[in-house]
Amino acid sequence: MNNKTGSEDNQTRIFGIRAVIEAINAGKQVDKLFIQKGLSGELYSELKSLIKHYDVNHSYVPIEKINRFTRKNHQGVYAFISPVTFYSIEELLPQLYERGETPLLLVLDRITDVRNFGAIARTAECVGVHAIITPLQNTAPVNEDAIKTSAGALYNIPICKERNLKASLKYLQESGVKLISCTEKTDDLVYDADYTVPCAILMGSEEDGISNEFIKMSDSKAKLPMHGKIGSLNVSVATGAILYEATRQRLNKS
């Protein structure tokens, strides 16, 4: 998943089987691809092979959904081309170690709000997070709104979209990266965790938080102290708070 595209595309939308085939062959990074259910034919078979080869994020949807995007001759295929490059964490992490850096990674579990995602990316880039890791599905698209909210940070921080997030987290642990879940399901505060070691901070959706299976996998859990009546923070604000605690610790150690 490392096909590259220039930042000038700003989430180009394309439709038609041949057009999508040519975009993939040209190295464009497809953020999301919608395919009409029941589609068939020789040209579609060629597209299907490319989807499998390049591990393209795709969904099969009713034709009505594609018709909402365009009424032109879409042939049952509609794609969003991302303006940024996606990376694989298995390729990126060894490079960090080779450069002698202590990885600071951010994992976003099912955060689907584009503006939250952009705001988080902005803070992450400011504090020096090495990469943001998200699932391939059920995550905010990297589109023009996300880039605008990030103030362009999404052009400068690697985004890793992983098909199997659980496997990716296991890989991180096996590679010496500590998983720290930011969750209310603990008595430990964010100030008690050690962020000076290679670590990945997990943040979850505002509706459900971090998936239970990922919390169980974590090496430690941490929560923000809450004294008000509301009892919760916007996820981008919470992410900023924990990232700056990690930054404080790392600055004090250096």
Domain boundaries, the chain: 7-81, 86-253
Nearest to 237 by CA among 107, 116, 111, 112: 116
Question: How deeply is 104 buried, as exposed, middle or buried, from its count of CB atoms within 10 A (0-12, 13-18, 19+)?
Answer: buried
- Residue 254 reports pLDDT greater than 80: no
Radius of gyration of the chain (CA): 19
Burial of 59 (0-12, 13-18, 19+ CB in 10 A): exposed
- Tell me how far apart the alpha carbons of residues 82 and 183 are, in angstroms, rounded to a whole number: 31
Which phi-psi region, left, alpha or beta, contains residue 194 (left: φ > 0; alpha: ψ -120 to 50)?
beta
pLDDT band at 133 (very low <50, low <70, confident <90, very high): very high
- pLDDT at 242 > cutoff 80: yes
Q: Average model confidence (pLDDT) for the chain? A: 90
- Determine the angle formed by the axes of helices 17-25 and 42-54, rounding to 10 degrees: 30
Under DSSP, the state recorded for 23 is H
pLDDT at 7: 35
What does the pLDDT average to over 181-194? 93
Answer whether residue 234 shows pLDDT above 60. Answer: yes
- Beta strand pairing call for 77-81 and 30-36: antiparallel
> Where residue 231 falls among pLDDT bands split at 50, 70, 90?
low
8: pLDDT strictly greater than 80: no
Percent of the chain with pLDDT over 70: 94
**Region for 54 from its dihedrals, namely left if φ exceeds 0, alpha if ψ lies in -120 to 50, beta otherwise:** alpha
The gap between the terminal CA atoms of the chain, to the nearest Å, is 35
- 157-182: average pLDDT: 96
Determine the average pLDDT of the residues in 8-16: 67
Say if residue 205's pLDDT is above 60. yes
pLDDT of 173 > 60? The answer is: yes
Quick check: 5 pLDDT over 70? no
Task: Please state which of the ranges 141-155, 165-179, 185-199, 211-225 shows the lowest mean pLDDT.
Answer: 141-155
Report if pTM > 0.85: no
7-81: which CATH topology? 60s Ribosomal Protein L30; Chain: A; (3.30.1330)
pLDDT at 4: 37
Percent helix, percent strand, percent coil in the chain, to nearest 5: 40, 20, 40
Q: Which CATH architecture has domain 86-253?
A: 3-Layer(aba) Sandwich (3.40)
In whole angstroms, what is the distance from residue 239 CA to residue 233 CA? 9
The predicted pLDDT at position 56 comes to: 87
Assess whether pLDDT exceeds 50 at residue 3: no
Segments in 55-211 forming alpha helices (H): 63-69, 89-98, 114-127, 144-149, 165-174
Identify the band that residue 13 occupies on the pLDDT scale cut at 50, 70 and 90.
confident
Res. 175: pLDDT tops 90: yes
- What's residue 167's pLDDT? 96
pLDDT reported for residue 141? 85
Q: How many helices (H) and strands (E) does the chain have?
A: 9, 11
- Check whether 9 has a pLDDT greater than 60: no
Give residues with Cβ within 8 angstroms of 221, minimum separation 6. Answer: 180, 181, 182, 183, 185, 186, 188, 215
Within 74-150, residue ranges assigned H as helices are: 89-98, 114-127, 144-149
